[in-house]
Amino acid sequence: MKPAKHRALSTTVRFALVAGVVGTGAYLAQHYSDSEANLDSGTVAVAQTAEKARSANSFIDSLGVATHLRYIDTSYGRYTDVVEPRLRELGVRHVRDGGNDPGLFAKLNRLSRFGIRSTLVFDLRDNITPSNAVSVLKKVLPSVVAIEGPNEWDINNVTYRGRGFPAGLRDYQTELYGAVKRDPATAKIAVLTPSIAYPENAAKLGSLRSVSDYGNLHIYAGGGIPALDYESKWLPLTRKMTGDRTIIVTETGWHNAVNDRNAGQRGVSEQVSAKYIPRMFLEYFNRGIKRTFLYEFLDERSRGDQESNFGIIRANGIPKPAFVALRNLIRVLNDSPNTAATGTLNYSLSGNVRNVNRTLLQKRNGDFYLVLWLQTTSSNALKTQRVTLNLGTPTRQAETYFPNQSPNVVMRHQSPSRITLDVPDAPLIVRITPK
287 and 365 part of one domain = no
Is 72 a domain residue?
yes
Cα gap 283→129, rounded to integer Å: 35
Quick check: 176 and 161 in contact, CB under 8 A? no
Q: Which domain holds residue 198?
A: 57-333
pLDDT of 35 strictly over 50: no
Cα gap 331→187, rounded to integer Å: 34
Task: Give the SS3 label for residue 406.
Answer: coil
Is 181 a domain residue?
yes
Length of the chain equals 435
Q: What is the CATH number of the domain that holds 154?
A: 3.20.20.80
pLDDT of 235 strictly over 60: yes
Quick check: 297 and 307 in contact, CB under 8 A? no
Number of neighbouring beta carbons within 10 Å of residue 139: 17
pLDDT of 32 strictly over 90: no
Give the residue with greater pLDDT, 130 vs 30.
130
pLDDT at residue 177, as a whole number: 98
Cα gap 238→24, rounded to integer Å: 38
pLDDT at residue 379, as a whole number: 97
Average pLDDT over residues 274-278: 98
Closest CA to 197 of 231, 161, 241: 241
pLDDT of 270 strictly over 60: yes
Under the banding of pLDDT at 50, 70 and 90, the label for residue 338 is confident
Name the E strands within 377-427: 384-391, 395-401, 409-414, 418-424
pLDDT at residue 33, as a whole number: 27
Instruction: Calculate what percentage of the chain has a pLDDT beyond 70.
Output: 89
Cα gap 394→347, rounded to integer Å: 10
pLDDT at residue 342, as a whole number: 82
Task: Give the SS3 label for residue 60.
Answer: helix
322 and 355 part of one domain = no
Q: In sequence order, which residues have a C-beta less than 8 Å from that of residue 90 and are 6 or more positions away?
A: 65, 323, 326, 327, 330
Is 164 a domain residue?
yes
27 and 78 part of one domain = no
Give the residue with greater pLDDT, 318 vs 42.
318
Average pLDDT over residues 415-425: 97
Closest CA to 245 of 277, 204, 282, 202: 202
Is 31 a domain residue?
yes
225 and 307 part of one domain = yes
Cα gap 403→214, rounded to integer Å: 31
Among the candidates 286, 309, 333, a domain finishes at 333
Condensed to tens digits (0 to 9), the pLDDT of residues 110-119 reads 999 999 999 9
pLDDT at residue 108, as a whole number: 98
Under the banding of pLDDT at 50, 70 and 90, the label for residue 323 is very high
Is 2 a domain residue?
no
pLDDT at residue 46, as a whole number: 57
Quick check: 195 and 209 in contact, CB under 8 A? no
Closest CA to 343 of 229, 435, 219: 435
Quick check: 249 and 293 in contact, CB under 8 A? yes
Q: What is the CATH number of the domain that holds 378?
A: 2.60.40
288 and 210 part of one domain = yes
Average pLDDT over residues 231-259: 97
Condensed to tens digits (0 to 9), the pLDDT of residues 216-227 reads 999 999 999 999
pLDDT at residue 47, as a whole number: 60
Condensed to tens digits (0 to 9), the pLDDT of residues 344-353 reads 999 999 999 9
Cα gap 335→313, rounded to integer Å: 25
Is 1 a domain residue?
no
Average pLDDT over residues 204-208: 97
Average pLDDT over residues 226-244: 96
41 and 78 part of one domain = no
Average pLDDT over residues 239-252: 97
Among the candidates 313, 333, 353, a domain finishes at 333
30 and 75 part of one domain = no
pLDDT of 2 strictly over 60: no
pLDDT of 10 strictly over 70: no
372 and 410 part of one domain = yes
Is 7 a domain residue?
no
Condensed to tens digits (0 to 9), the pLDDT of residues 44-103 reads 555 678 999 999 999 999 999 999 999 999 999 999 999 999 999 999 999 999 999 999
Is 157 a domain residue?
yes
Instruction: Calculate what percentage of the chain has a pLDDT beyond 90.
Output: 87
Give me the number of domains the chain comprises: 2
427 and 315 part of one domain = no
pLDDT of 7 strictly over 80: no
Among the candidates 333, 363, 388, a domain finishes at 333
Cα gap 154→148, rounded to integer Å: 15
pLDDT of 163 strictly over 50: yes
Q: In sequence order, which residues have a C-beta less than 8 Å from that of residue 223 and are 6 or more positions away?
A: 254, 265, 266, 267, 268
Condensed to tens digits (0 to 9), the pLDDT of residues 368-418 reads 999 999 999 999 999 999 999 999 999 999 999 999 999 999 999 999 999
pLDDT at residue 290, as a whole number: 98
139 and 151 part of one domain = yes
Cα gap 418→51, rounded to integer Å: 17
pLDDT at residue 340, as a whole number: 80
188 and 232 part of one domain = yes
63 and 49 part of one domain = no
Rounded to the nearest integer, the mean pLDDT of the chain is 90
What does DSSP say about strands 384-391 and 94-98: parallel, antiparallel, or unpaired?
unpaired
DSSP string, 281-342: HHHHHHTT-SEEEES-SB-SSSSSSGGG---SB-TTSPBPHHHHHHHHHHHHH---TT----
Closest CA to 180 of 233, 139, 132, 143: 132
